[in-house]
Amino acid sequence: MASVMLSEEEGALESRMALTAAAMADKSRSRMLCALMDGRAWTATELSAVADVSASTASAHLARLCEQRFVVALAQGRHRYFRLAGPEIAELLERLMGVAWATSTPRKITTPPGLRHARTCYDHLAGEVAVRLFDTLVSRQWLTPDGATLTSLGQEKLAQMGIVLATGSSRRKITCGCLDWSERRYHPGGELGASLLRWLIDQRWVRTELSSRRVTFTPLGIRKLASEFGVKTTR
């Protein structure tokens, strides 16, 4: 009896996995999900333009993504906005991008230089600069090489800089190494990655661009990244 119940549970899980994968299998839905990786909420009209589909088709796609809990709908007055359901979905998409890049033929990087240099990965920093920042945190022994643990020294140094991690009751990991799909190396993920990006924005070291994942660094940010973290950037 126990083996029968286990088999049924495994079958249910396999069915759910198939449905989840199918939700991402459509190119238009994939385009929508990639657009939502900028961390903002988009209207159905905006997402239909990104996916190059009609409004009715976009609505059907969004309903499917909401049903599979990739996306949530937010009502504000007469308008509805859509955003990723949470950081765990963003982390899944980032890893899928890495897998897609690694298995492409031929293997060449086609990411626009600006996005490869620095971009948002939902609510944290990604790209070349983020990878260098991760390496600095590891070399200073603030972070373990796999990115899974923030050391006591790291907690102390970040607190001194005014970078406070929101631990609370969230199920989100305090820190994790998020595999950067364009660099094939880790950048800071989890609550640490989100807190770092918020801090960089508050310090006016970086600017995010509307309707784009691209991040640019201010003259102050360029100087401070070099002096505080040993990370060099020119843009």
In this prediction, residue 81 carries a pLDDT of 92
In this prediction, residue 94 carries a pLDDT of 81
- Of residues 234 and 107, the one with the higher pLDDT is 234
User: Sheet holding 42-43: strands in order across?
Assistant: 42-43, 79-84, 71-76
User: What is the reported pTM?
Assistant: 0.71
DSSP state of 180: P
Most confident option among 84-98, 130-144, 161-175:
130-144
In this prediction, residue 10 carries a pLDDT of 64
- Of residues 73 and 13, the one with the higher pLDDT is 73
Q: Indicate the average pLDDT of the chain.
A: 86
Between the CA atoms of 36, 90, 214 and 145, what dihedral angle is there, to the nearest 10 degrees? Answer: 180
Would the pLDDT of 7 be above 80? Answer: no
Domains of the chain: 2-85 (1.10.10.10), 88-229 (no CATH)
In this prediction, residue 114 carries a pLDDT of 78
